[in-house]
């Protein structure tokens, strides 16, 4: 029978429209795959069925193509003469979230350090109250272990502050204009 010319108008019968949509969608996705394969292009196609259900095809995937497209659009809006891949809103959001998480973790560690410092002071005070019950070597061991614990906590706090500073410097979050 072969191919025949189809008049370009809306198919009125809903079941025929659904069948036509499914066949055309498959053909469209095949063509998108061909252009991606033959030309090395990044392709994304999103279509909604007559019933409102979304279908998508992407090479390498829809999300990466959409993110790349959106980051270029944001860069054009921010500075029409200069395109900058760092303008991706999702990337900035993710980096800002990472920074907030690290700062929250730093604050938690500082509070933990304060609690440990208080416990050390309390332990030293307790050890001082019962000094007559402990031997000299036992007291020296206790003091050494408390000092090591204090140094360990201070080193951890210092590492957390350094990590936070490096993250701040490395990411330099971009403020959203709105």
| CATH code for the domain in which residue 67 is found | 3.40.1810.10
Q: Tell me what pLDDT residue 83 has.
A: 46
Q: Which domain holds residue 114?
A: 89-171
Domain membership flag for residue 99? yes
Domain membership flag for residue 22? yes
Of the candidates 45, 43, 70, the residue with the CA atom closest to the CA atom of residue 55: 45
Cα separation, 30 vs 45, in Å, equals: 11
- With tokens 């069948």, the residue in question is 19
Cα separation, 112 vs 141, in Å, equals: 24
Q: Tell me what pLDDT residue 173 has.
A: 52
Q: Tell me what pLDDT residue 6 has.
A: 79
Same domain, 48 and 101: no
pLDDT one-digit tens code per residue, 61-83: 998 888 888 888 676 766 655 54
Query: Between the CA of residue 82 and those of 73, 75, 153, 171, what are the distances in Å?
Result: 11, 7, 47, 20
Same domain, 74 and 142: no
Domain membership flag for residue 76? yes
Asked if residues 92 and 176 have their Cβ atoms less than 8 Å apart, the reply is yes
List, in sequence order, every residue forming a beta bridge with 57; answer none if it has no partner. Answer: 45
Domain membership flag for residue 5? no
| Number of domains making up the chain | 2
123 phi/psi in degrees, rounded to 5: -65, -40
Count other C-beta atoms under 10 Å from residue 71's C-beta. Answer: 20
48 phi/psi in degrees, rounded to 5: -110, 130
pLDDT one-digit tens code per residue, 25-57: 999 999 999 999 999 999 999 999 988 899 999
11 phi/psi in degrees, rounded to 5: -75, 125
Cα separation, 132 vs 73, in Å, equals: 76
- What mean pLDDT comes out for the span 132-150? 81
Cα separation, 58 vs 67, in Å, equals: 12
pLDDT one-digit tens code per residue, 82-124: 544 445 677 778 778 888 888 888 888 888 888 888 888 877 7
Best-predicted range by mean pLDDT among 37-41, 78-82, 126-130, 167-171?
37-41
């Amino acid at each position: 029978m072969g191919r025949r010319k189809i008049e370009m108008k809306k198919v009125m019968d809903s079941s025929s429209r659904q069948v036509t949509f499914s066949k055309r969608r498959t053909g469209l996705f095949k063509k998108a795959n061909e252009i991606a394969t033959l030309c090395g292009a990044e392709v994304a196609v999103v279509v909604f069925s007559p019933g409102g259900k979304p279908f998508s095809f992407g090479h390498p995937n829809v999300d990466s193509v959409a993110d790349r497209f959106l980051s270029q659009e944001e860069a054009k809006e921010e500075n029409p003469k200069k395109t900058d891949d760092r303008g991706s809103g999702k990337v900035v959001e993710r980096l800002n979230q990472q920074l907030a998480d690290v700062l929250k973790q730093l604050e938690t560690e500082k509070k933990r350090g304060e609690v440990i410092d208080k416990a050390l002071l309390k332990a030293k005070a307790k050890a001082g109250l019962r000094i007559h019950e402990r031997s000299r070597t036992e007291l020296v061991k206790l003091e050494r272990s408390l000092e090591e614990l204090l140094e360990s906590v201070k080193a951890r706090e210092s590492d957390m502050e350094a990590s936070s500073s490096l993250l701040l410097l490395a990411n330099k979050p971009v403020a959203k204009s709105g």
